[in-house]
Chain A
Amino acid sequence: GNSVTQMEGPVTLSEEAFLTINCTYTATGYPSLFWYVQYPGEGLQLLLKATKADDKGSNKGFEATYRKETTSFHLEKGSVQVSDSAVYFCALSDQAAGNKLTFGGGTRVLVKP
């Protein structure tokens, strides 16, 4: 079946530091890949997505590239802000599984001033 593995947190950074959150996946088909973000006390929001190999998703200064050869979709941001403190979820959807979302365990990021 499908699965998503992402690095465990928490990740604690200083403001303006570089952020990387690793994500790898296993899928039976050819999935689309997503990053969702959950700010404190809120539901999840779609942050970015990529639907085919070598696609780069980007939003709010975050980027992730769909790497089929390494089955990865790592999230990066060059200079984090305190407002980026949140839980980040990597996810996939696979047409072979009815396009339902499969989530990783989530990575909590804390950015200190």
Chain B
Amino acid sequence: NAGVTQTPKFQVLKTGQSMTLQCAQDMNHEYMSWYRQDPGMGLRLIHYSVGAGITDQGEVPNGYNVSRSTTEDFPLRLLSAAPSQTSVYFCASSSIQEIAEAFFGQGTRLTVV
């Protein structure tokens, strides 16, 4: 039972590079979201989606893009990486009836140098 799968687990980028963090879920959940986790700040919502073709901004969307072409996949794109984007990124999914009861992936630790 895979749940929510994130790749890669670790990544080092140079300032200005772009990359895509992958997220896939196999629970047929409508709702998917991306968070970043920074020390002492908890998790902050970057972008979310309530279904295929529908995305919206969260609390800290600047510098990130998302798309949702299928129910299963919700990739997060960093357009031009900056040191301020060094963080741990978590993808989560949940049913639309219980959005707050989320299932999280194992995270991607990103370092931008």
Alpha-carbon distance between A32 and B102 when the two chains are bound, in angstroms: 13
Q: How far is the CB of A39 from chain B (nearest CB, A)?
A: 10
Interface size class of A (residues with CB under 8 A): 20 to 34
Q: How far is the CB of A29 from chain B (nearest CB, A)?
A: 13
Which residues of A are found within 8 Å of B99, using beta-carbon distances? 93, 98-101
CB within 8 Å of A: which B16-30 residues? none
By secondary structure, the B interface counts as loop
Alpha-carbon distance between A93 and B94 when the two chains are bound, in angstroms: 13
Which of B42, B90, B100, B104 is most buried by chain A, counting CB atoms within 10 A of its CB? B100
Interface size class of B (residues with CB under 8 A): 20 to 34
A101 and B45 contact, CB distance less than 8 A: yes
Q: How far is the CB of B63 from chain A (nearest CB, A)?
A: 20
For the complex with contacts A43-B105, A89-B42, A100-B48, 11 further pairs of A-B residues with Cβ separation under 8 Å are A32-B100, A43-B90, A43-B106, A44-B43, A44-B104, A46-B101, A49-B100, A100-B33, A103-B43, A105-B42, A106-B40
